[in-house]
């Protein structure tokens, strides 16, 4: 029997293999990453999305381990759901397992998962998978890529990476390891495609420090920095700038406070004791001695920055003289809400610094020249672009072709499409059922397109409810029809329109000859459309007595 490695990117039509991948060899499964996606603008009411890993449910006993490449939400955010079904040990660098532990604790699962910290540079045998962890630069600290050896060959899974010659923590991507893997002979490379449409080289994390420093030097009042709660390296940069500029630092928000605490305990975040203060203390100090760091760089309305921008924060308000730094780039789909938040913060009197006008954020992902360098170092026999939508994957494949990878040695696939590596050759496998699972109000459900369509309909033109009491003998109305509208027209317009609707309905019923619920709804729909050109959902309830 030939040696076969199965590569299974799990999820729906998003970035392939970004949130969850499975590698299968001889009936054993290694999962890489267990992350979440943020909902798209048309996924109404959804809190977050996780890959539908139903494919693995009845194979959970085959799973020998879950390896997490780094601690960002798109790689760990589904872990509490995954460990419910799959009781396998979870491997990651100590910072990553620390972030996972904070998350599990918040979900009442602390201590219930077998977390196995692994240092970059170490090799772990996980079932039939020999996994070599190698350090890569990314906006997350202590991120790793994986070299996975099985009887089917050696594959390299980069995870999120960039080549940063001057990273903030002075720990560059492990060129030597990548070159050594290349010499050993790599059968397959799966490489990060996020910035495949971006020419050149992503700027170093190091450029952020001078940009922060310039802002800190000029800010007349408080400085408020927004970023992601899992971005420990950014916390470190802010802390360093605080020390340099003699400002005290207060973290706000549960997730940021918890993560900062964990990272300090593990030694990954170094803030002098006399620099770090509570938000309550910070608010008693002179404005030009204070820096506050919280979440909300994506304009999320419930984040601290969202609440500050609308004047609904609990502990403190924005005031003139405040400087707000949005230390992030809008996630695709969030551009509009970020821009609105910037405008609102400006309107509240703050000065706002964001990545369009100062280098207070850089991408954590390789641009084209770095993607090419990865290909040059690893010199893979086969290539699958991952961590991107179809548009980026296609572009990454074009780059690889320019680098000499033959088209027959590449496959561009989307989540749910299995690929097999057999005797050093790529082959399309079967499609597995999958997609995304929507997490909403604490309940976890399948993605239901019908449900989303119904919500879209409700949102587009609202509802009109008509409740009728009808005498079952005479088929005449016992009362005036009750008409309720929501989200249809303004209250004044509804008040003006309802008597006309009541009259129309009464005429129909007393005219007789109609199949009641269905026909009344139809007539009301037409009437409303003629009057308003709108198409609300119309519901008719009839009580016959």
CB of 433 vs a second copy, minimal distance in Å: 16
Q: Does 500 bind a second copy (CB under 8 A)?
A: no
Longest dimension (CA), the chain: 91
How many whole angstroms separate alpha carbon 37 and alpha carbon 18?
A: 9
Beta sheet of 143-150, edge-to-edge order: 123-126, 129-136, 143-150, 153-157, 188-192, 383-386
Select 336 or 495, whichever has its Cβ closest to a second copy: 336
User: What's 345-392 look like in SS3?
Assistant: HHHCCCEEECCCCCCCCCCCCCCHHHHHHHHHHHCCCCEEEECCCHHH
Q: What are phi and psi of 502, to 5 degrees?
A: -60, -45
| Alpha helix (H) residue ranges in 403-490 | 449-461
Give CA angle at 404 (402, 407), nearest 5°: 85
User: What's 218-273 look like in SS3?
Assistant: HCCCCEEEECCCCCHHHHHHHHHHHHHCCCEEEECCHHHHHHHHHHHHCCCCCCCC
Select 49 or 137, whichever has its Cβ closest to a second copy: 49
Residues 180, 287, 440, 519: which binds a second copy (CB under 8 A)? Answer: 440
Only segment of 80-88, 221-229, 269-277, 386-394 that touches a second copy (CB under 8 A):
386-394
- Hey, which residues between 167 and 226 contact a second copy (CB under 8 A)? 197
- Hey, which residues between 31 and 70 contact a second copy (CB under 8 A)? 40-41, 44-45
Q: Does 115 bind a second copy (CB under 8 A)?
A: no
Q: Does 441 bind a second copy (CB under 8 A)?
A: yes
Q: Does 335 bind a second copy (CB under 8 A)?
A: yes
CB of 308 vs a second copy, minimal distance in Å: 16
Taking the alpha carbons at both ends of the chain, their separation in whole angstroms is 74
Q: Does 525 bind a second copy (CB under 8 A)?
A: no
**Under 8 Å between Cβ of 65 and 79:** no
Q: Is the dihedral of CA 296, 299, 300, 306 positive or negative?
A: positive
How many whole angstroms separate alpha carbon 237 and alpha carbon 168?
A: 8
Select 192 or 240, whichever has its Cβ closest to a second copy: 192
Residues 119, 183, 312, 541: which binds a second copy (CB under 8 A)? Answer: 541
CB of 103 vs a second copy, minimal distance in Å: 19
How many whole angstroms separate alpha carbon 256 and alpha carbon 292?
A: 11
How many whole angstroms separate alpha carbon 172 and alpha carbon 170?
A: 6
CB of 462 vs a second copy, minimal distance in Å: 6
Residues 114, 430, 454, 507: which binds a second copy (CB under 8 A)? Answer: 454
Select 56 or 466, whichever has its Cβ closest to a second copy: 466
Residues 54, 389, 401, 519: which binds a second copy (CB under 8 A)? Answer: 389
Beta bridge partners of 131: 124, 148
How many whole angstroms separate alpha carbon 90 and alpha carbon 474?
A: 71
Per-residue interface string for the shown chain with a second copy, residues 145-164, x marking contact by CB under 8 A: --------------------
**Under 8 Å between Cβ of 50 and 124:** no
Cβ neighbors of 89 (< 8 A, separation 6 or more) are 65, 66, 114, 115, 116, 126
| CA 263 distance to own-chain centroid | 22
Residues 142, 381, 395, 504: which binds a second copy (CB under 8 A)? Answer: 395
Q: Does 402 bind a second copy (CB under 8 A)?
A: no
Select 44 or 257, whichever has its Cβ closest to a second copy: 44
CB of 448 vs a second copy, minimal distance in Å: 4
With residue 216 as reference, give the H or E element that holds it: helix 208-218
Residues 57, 165, 246, 534: which binds a second copy (CB under 8 A)? Answer: 534
Only segment of 107-115, 258-266, 376-384, 450-458 that touches a second copy (CB under 8 A):
450-458
Q: Does 310 bind a second copy (CB under 8 A)?
A: no
- Hey, which residues between 467 and 486 contact a second copy (CB under 8 A)? 467-469, 478-479, 482, 484, 486
CB of 107 vs a second copy, minimal distance in Å: 14
Residues 106, 165, 460, 503: which binds a second copy (CB under 8 A)? Answer: 460
**Under 8 Å between Cβ of 36 and 74:** yes
**Under 8 Å between Cβ of 121 and 101:** no
CB of 49 vs a second copy, minimal distance in Å: 14
The SS3 call for residue 420 is strand
Q: Can you state the angle between helices 254-265 and 94-106, rounded to 10 degrees?
A: 140
Q: Does 487 bind a second copy (CB under 8 A)?
A: yes
- Hey, which residues between 351 and 380 contact a second copy (CB under 8 A)? 352, 356-357
Residues 218, 448, 495, 507: which binds a second copy (CB under 8 A)? Answer: 448
How many whole angstroms separate alpha carbon 134 and alpha carbon 120?
A: 5
Residues 489, 501, 505, 508: which binds a second copy (CB under 8 A)? Answer: 489
- By CB under 8 A, how many residues form the interface with a second copy? 69
Q: Does 333 bind a second copy (CB under 8 A)?
A: yes
Residues 200, 272, 332, 499: which binds a second copy (CB under 8 A)? Answer: 332
Select 486 or 503, whichever has its Cβ closest to a second copy: 486
Residues 403, 465, 516, 521: which binds a second copy (CB under 8 A)? Answer: 465
Return residues touching a second copy (CB under 8 A).
13, 40-41, 44-45, 197, 332-333, 335-337, 339-340, 342-343, 346-347, 352, 356-357, 389-391, 394-395, 414, 440-443, 445-446, 448, 450-451, 454-463, 465, 467-469, 478-479, 482, 484, 486-491, 493, 532-535, 537, 539, 541, 543, 545
């Amino acid at each position: 029997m030939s040696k076969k490695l199965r590569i299974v990117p799990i999820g729906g039509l998003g970035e392939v293999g970004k949130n969850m991948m499975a590698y299968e060899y001889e009936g054993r499964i290694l999962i890489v990453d267990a992350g979440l996606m943020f909902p798209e603008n048309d996924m109404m009411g959804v809190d977050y999305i996780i890959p539908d890993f139903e494919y693995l449910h009845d194979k959970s006993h085959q799973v020998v381990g879950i390896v997490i490449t780094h601690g960002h939400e798109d790689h760990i955010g589904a872990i509490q759901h995954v460990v419910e079904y799959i009781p396998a040990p979870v491997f990651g660098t100590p910072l990553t397992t620390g972030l996972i532990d904070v998350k599990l604790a918040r979900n009442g699962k602390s201590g219930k998962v077998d977390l196995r910290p692994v240092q970059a540079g170490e090799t772990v045998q996980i079932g039939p998978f020999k996994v070599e962890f190698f350090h890569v630069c990314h906006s997350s600290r202590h991120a790793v890529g994986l070299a996975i050896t099985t009887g089917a060959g050696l594959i390299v899974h980069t995870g999120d990476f960039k080549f940063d010659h001057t990273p903030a923590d002075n720990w560059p991507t492990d060129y030597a390891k990548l070159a050594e893997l290349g010499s050993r002979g790599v059968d397959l490379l799966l490489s990060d495609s996020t910035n495949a449409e971006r020419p050149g080289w992503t700027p170093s994390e190091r450029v952020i420090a001078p940009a922060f420093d310039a802002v800190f030097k000029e800010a007349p009042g408080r400085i408020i920095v927004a970023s992601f709660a899992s971005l420990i390296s950014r916390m470190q940069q802010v802390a360093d700038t605080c020390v340099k500029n003699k400002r005290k630092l207060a973290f706000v928000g549960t997730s940021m406070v918890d993560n900062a605490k964990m990272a300090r305990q593990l030694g990954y975040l170094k803030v002098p004791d006399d620099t770090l203060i509570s938000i309550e203390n910070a608010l008693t100090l002179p404005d030009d001695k204070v820096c506050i760091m919280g979440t909300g760089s994506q304009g999320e309305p419930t984040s601290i920055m969202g609440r500050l921008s609308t004047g609904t924060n609990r502990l403190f308000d924005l005031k003139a003289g405040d400087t707000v730094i949005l230390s992030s780039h809008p996630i695709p789909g969030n551009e509009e809400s970020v821009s609105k938040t910037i405008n609102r913060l400006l309107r509240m009197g703050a000065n706002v610094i964001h990545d369009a006008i100062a280098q207070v954020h850089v991408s954590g992902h390789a641009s084209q020249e770095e993607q090419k360098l990865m290909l040059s170092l690893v010199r893979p026999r086969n290539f699958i672009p991952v961590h991107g939508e179809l548009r980026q994957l296609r572009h990454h494949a074009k780059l690889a072709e320019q680098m000499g990878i033959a088209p027959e040695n590449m496959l561009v696939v989307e989540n749910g499409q299995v690929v097999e590596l057999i005797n050093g050759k790529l082959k399309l496998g079967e499609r597995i059922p999958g997609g995304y699972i929507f997490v909403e109000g604490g309940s976890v459900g399948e993605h239901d397109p019908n449900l989303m369509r119904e919500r879209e309909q409700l949102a587009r033109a609202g509802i009109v409810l008509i409740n009728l009491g009808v005498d079952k003998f005479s088929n005449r109305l016992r009362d005036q029809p009750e008409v309720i509208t929501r989200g249809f027209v303004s209250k004044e317009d509804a008040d003006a329109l309802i008597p006309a609707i009541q009259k129309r309905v009464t005429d129909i019923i007393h005219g007789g000859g109609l199949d009641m619920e269905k026909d009344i709804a139809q007539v009301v729909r037409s009437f409303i459309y003629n009057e308003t050109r709108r198409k609300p959902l119309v519901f008719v309830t009839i009580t016959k007595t």
